[in-house]
Amino acid sequence: MKVGILGNGQLGQMLESSITDLTDIEISLYDLRAHDDAELAQFIASVDVVSYETENIPAHIVELLEPHADKLRPGLNALKTFQNRLLEKNALRAAGIDTADFCAVNSLDDVHAAVKTLGLPIVMKTTTEGYDGKGQFVMRSPNDAEACWNTIGNRELIAEAFVPFLRETSVIASRDAQGNIVVFPMTENVHHEGILRYSLYPAPGLSSAKAEQAERYIRQLADSLDYVGTITLELFETENGLVANEVAPRVHNSGHWSIEGTSASQFRNHMLAITGRELGSTESKYASVAMLNVISDETPAEVAETIANAHRHSYGKEARPARKLGHVTVVADTDAERDATITKLTDLMPTGIWPPAAH
């Protein structure tokens, strides 16, 4: 079977390397940045299944995919829904998942109206093309309205009520075309300046009620869209339970730990799901795991090489500010052992974010 992946970045590469033993699946990665319509159409025609490493696919390419929707996994509906934060929030609500209160904003008047409806603070976001905290403006006063509209407005925005979260977490699942679902254990995710810096499994002190809520949510979401492939739900943990932030219709940085941590990683399960094979186990093989990102050249990527139980992955990219160049997975028999190893790797992190705040 031939599988074509749109995008040839690290996610595409990790999808490819997750199934090197399955020699009857042939994967090709397509670089969307240098694309040419005719060449892309030929690429799509030459494969049995098309998947994508990112939902940030320009509208005219999505149009090109329309006639081949039957090959696309996850499907066109999922892609379009999770490309747009308003459609995404509506889909989450429709699936019975709690989100921040929100409203659409298309003008400066709408910004003022949102303040009246939602109160302050408001997290204002562009509905499309925002990632890693880009295209966002936090409004704390009604006087911020003009600055907000001038900075990120003049296009469709979504206003979200500010969620007073304790911490950020995510849950990842893979679903096949028959509706079988495997769910990965949740992680706590710690960000700095909008970029994920590390993920911890288990999420320290996570209650079983919240873990069950996350699993229920991701099953409801994947079922509601008849989703095929790996899907990620980012969740704020609050005093009163979990509140969905956003969805990625793909493998996710917070699931990279599964390469070493589970027998079938998020990448492998995605490939198994989209090629119609039986999904693999998502149970953790280790009591305790962490994933640390290697960001730009501020951090010596070699640091992990000599540390036991630290597995280094390099994406072979040139260093640029705020660019993800690789990651390190730490595996351990206890949380204390894991945390001691992370402490040895603190060169990989900006100061002040390790250890995470206690919950």
Residues that bind ligand AMP (CB under 6 A): 100, 123, 130, 133, 160, 162-163, 168, 191, 194, 245-246
Considering the complex, state which of residue 101 and residue 337 has its C-beta at the smaller distance from ligand AMP.
101
Shortest spacing between CB 59 and ligand AMP, in angstroms: 20
Q: Which own/partner pairs from 97-101 qualify as long-range (CB within 8 Å, at least 24 positions apart)?
A: 97/217, 97/220, 97/221, 97/233, 97/244, 98/241, 98/242, 98/243, 98/244, 99/243, 99/244, 99/245, 100/160, 100/161, 100/162, 100/163, 100/243, 100/245, 101/160, 101/161
Considering the complex, state which of residue 256 and residue 338 has its C-beta at the smaller distance from ligand AMP.
256
Considering the complex, state which of residue 57 and residue 123 has its C-beta at the smaller distance from ligand AMP.
123
Shortest spacing between CB 246 and ligand AMP, in angstroms: 5
Considering the complex, state which of residue 19 and residue 248 has its C-beta at the smaller distance from ligand AMP.
248
Give CA angle at 259 (336, 79), nearest 5°: 120
The torsion angle over the Cα atoms of residues 331, 14, 34 and 152, rounded to 10 degrees, is -40
Shortest spacing between CB 318 and ligand AMP, in angstroms: 25
Check if the beta carbon of residue 328 is closer than 8 Å to that of residue 313. yes
Shortest spacing between CB 207 and ligand AMP, in angstroms: 21
* 3-state SS class at 188: strand
Considering the complex, state which of residue 46 and residue 141 has its C-beta at the smaller distance from ligand AMP.
141
Token representation of residue 122: 């408001």
Considering the complex, state which of residue 168 and residue 188 has its C-beta at the smaller distance from ligand AMP.
168
Check if the beta carbon of residue 330 is closer than 8 Å to that of residue 313. no
Q: Inter-axis angle of helices 76-83 and 85-94, to 10 degrees?
A: 120
Shortest spacing between CB 92 and ligand AMP, in angstroms: 12
Shortest spacing between CB 76 and ligand AMP, in angstroms: 23
